[in-house]
Amino acid sequence: MKFRGRVFKFGDNIDTDVIIPARYLVHTDPKILASHCMEPIDAEFPKKVREGDIIVAGSNFGCGSSREHAPLAILGLGIPLVIAKSFARIFYRNAFNKGLILIESDLCNYVEEGEEIEVDVAEGIIRRRGETFNTKPIPPFMIELVKSGGLLNYLKMRIDRGGSK
Amino acid sequence: MGMTATEKILAYNSGRKYVEPGEIVEVKIDLALANDITAPLSIEEFEKIGARGVFDPEKIVFVLDHFTPNKDIPAAENCRKIKEFAKKYGIRHVYDGGLCGIEHALLPEKGLVMPGDVIIGADSHTCTYGALGAFATGVGSTDLTFGMITGYLWFKVPETIKFECYGKWKKWVTGKDLILHVIGMIGVDGALYSAMEFTGDAIHQLSMDSRFTISNMTVEAGAKNGIFFVDDVTLRYVGENSKRGFKIFVSDPDATYKEKIEIDVSKIGLKVACPHLPSNVKDVEELSDVAIDQVVIGSCTNGRLEDLRIAAEIMKGKKVREGIRCIIIPATPKIYLDALKRGYIETFLEAGCVVSPPTCGPCLGGHMGVLAKGERAIATTNRNFIGRMGHPESEVYLSGPSVAAASAIAGRIAHPEEVL
């Protein structure tokens, strides 16, 4: 599973109130949520992003509330993965559960806003301008989880097999 | 090898004798909770995958507390959808209208969460129930849906950080000051993925209300859960609110900890977290020139009777400074009624406060006290991120009830002794 996209850089402790402010949580449509993504710190962000772009951030990305609207807003912009020094715990589960890939790396110390990078998530390799960064590979079952559209499709498979309610 | 209380609860509920940090276990759930923001996503997923029922309708709770009384049409539609879903699947624990309280104050009061329980909630402050000696943690709507259908959820067993607290508490200092002190010390990711365990003589001196405040904000240090051991204070509280049986788990003396931190509480004064992180903590004395526009006393962190008692004690016979909005939000109908009977509500109204029905409202900038551009609030809530209470250029300072009440009188951030 490989991705190529432009980098959008963010700092440390990007919280869920910044990713999607609470006043928009009456909506569940990813497209509506996406149009307000990062609004408190960069209201133009949704307009600048193209399908396939990549968020690169500092530590504790996604801290704060448990709102799944946060990974949905990012996915709604067509951003397939976030690379950060570390992720908040609830956001980490929510992202994979919704099909958003997260990679732990200190890449933010090296890349510039707008440059293009290439990421091979299964191999755990990030490439930029001739440089290569190694990260922990995403295990095959997590890639399958993302490809199948998240945790509940996995559960649906179990239900269809009659293994659960 | 010994285990911590958190490890013991996860072991017991996954049918194991022993677990250690890093292991992944599938854990039986005693209660699954969602609110008017997170339940709609769960219900959509539930219907999309064609689930036929919930694992146990008695163990599912919906509290419609965030944008209620409904702030607009989409919020009203969400609540209607939740109530229709609950009716269809026989879920009777739905709290709305006059039954609505802020979820993390309401559930313990209703006896729905007990020591030793495993509780998941699609709300990050679900960790509040750790104050009762339970394992409680926030999850997203997808994990909640999985739990609601199967009655199980997987967890990685967290490492535990122990906070051994000793000494005598200073006047006015409450659980809020301790947890702000701790977050200021370890940072907003200082306990990432870990359990925070609070123990020691100073903890036994604390009320249940103060313990709920501490557990509530452990997520603000990145923790998976915050846990206390059951003592006489816990047993009295549980006995008053429920007849259900429960199990008590206490850490072994030879349990392994990620870290042990000793805290002399006699050295902790009144604390305030400045914008825009809960870890940006200062002593109240350093902030006496910070003017404010709004005060909020409420939320799942500090909207309980003890908080209202402290605020009323300071505001009795005084007036809120002209031009300041002071919003008081009793967290549940029972707390509201108790505060009314004790005369606190009269004190607040005579002082010129707004008294709101139970709601999360302004804490997350939802309604009932949203800030304009450039406005500044001091609040007994839990988060002060950019734009949390309204406009991206507004500011939130976090404190306990005594500082918030004193600030309402002074019109700036103040120590209670300055206004008494």
Edge to edge, the sheet with strand B31-35 lists B93-95, B60-63, B31-35, B118-121, B135-138
Domain boundary among B231, B264, B297: B264
Nearest to A28 among B41, B51, B219 (CB): B41
Phi, psi of A102 (to 5 degrees): -120, 135
**Total tally of structural domains belonging to chain B:** 2
Give the pLDDT score at A162: 63
Shortest Cα distance, chain B CAs vs residue A130, angstroms = 33
Give the structural domain span for B124: 5-264
Nearest-5° angle of CA A15, CA A90, CA A33?
A: 55
CATH number at residue B377: 3.30.499.10
State the DSSP H helix or E strand holding residue B201, giving kind and residue range, or none if neither.
helix B201-204
Claim to verify: residue B319 and residue B279 sit in the same structural domain: yes
**For residue A19, which amino acid is it?**
I
Q: How many CB atoms lie within 10 A of CB B114?
A: 23
Residues B70, B48: one domain? yes
Pair (B100, B167) in one structural domain: yes
Closest by Cβ to A22, choosing from B193, B366, B386: B366
* Min Cα–Cα distance to chain B from A148, Å: 13
Q: Is the Cβ pair A89, B45 closer than 8 Å?
A: no
Encode pLDDT of B324-382 as tens digits: 999 999 999 999 999 999 999 999 999 999 999 999 999 999 999 999 999 999 999 99
Q: Which residues pair with B120 in a beta bridge?
A: B32, B137
Instruction: Give chain B's end-to-end CA distance (angstroms, integer).
Output: 53
Q: Residue A145: pLDDT band by 50, 70, 90 thresholds?
A: confident
Q: For the segment A2-28, what is each residue's pLDDT rounded down to a tens digit?
A: 999 999 999 999 999 999 999 999 999
Same domain, B162 and B301: no
Residue of A20, A87, A142, A152 to mutate, testing the B interface (most B Cβ within 10 Å of its Cβ): A152
C-alpha B233/C-alpha B161 separation (Å) is: 23
Residues B194 and B327 in one domain: no
Whose structure tokens read 């008695």? B58
Secondary-structure percent of chain B, ordered helix, strand, coil, rounded to 5: 40, 20, 40
pLDDT grade, residue A164 (50/70/90)?
A: very low
| Cβ pair B258, B159 in contact under 8 A | yes
Q: Give the nearest partner residue to A151 out of B67, B146, B193, using CB atoms.
A: B146
Q: Which two tokens mark B366? A: 């939802």
Stretch (H or E) spanning A46: helix A45-48
The phi-psi region of residue A149 (left if phi > 0; otherwise alpha if psi is between -120 and 50; otherwise beta) is: left
CATH number of A2-137: 3.20.19.10
Q: Please indicate, yes or no, whether the overall pTM of this predicted structure exceeds 0.90.
A: yes
CB B362 within 8 A of CB B343: no
| Mutation choice for B interface testing from A39, A89, A141, A153 by most B CBs within 10 A | A89
Residue spans per domain, chain A: 2-137
B346, B208: one domain: no
Q: For residue A161, give how far its alpha carbon lies from the nearest alpha carbon of chain B (Å).
A: 13
Residues B285 and B227 in one domain: no
Confidence grade of residue A158 (pLDDT, cut at 50, 70, 90): low
Domain co-membership, B253 together with B276: no
List the structure tokens of B403. Answer: 């500082």
If asked whether residues B19 and B150 sit together in one domain, one would say: yes
- Tell me the pLDDT tens digit for each residue of B307-331: 999 999 999 999 999 999 999 999 9
ipTM for the assembly: 0.93
Checking if the pLDDT of B236 tops 90, the result is: yes
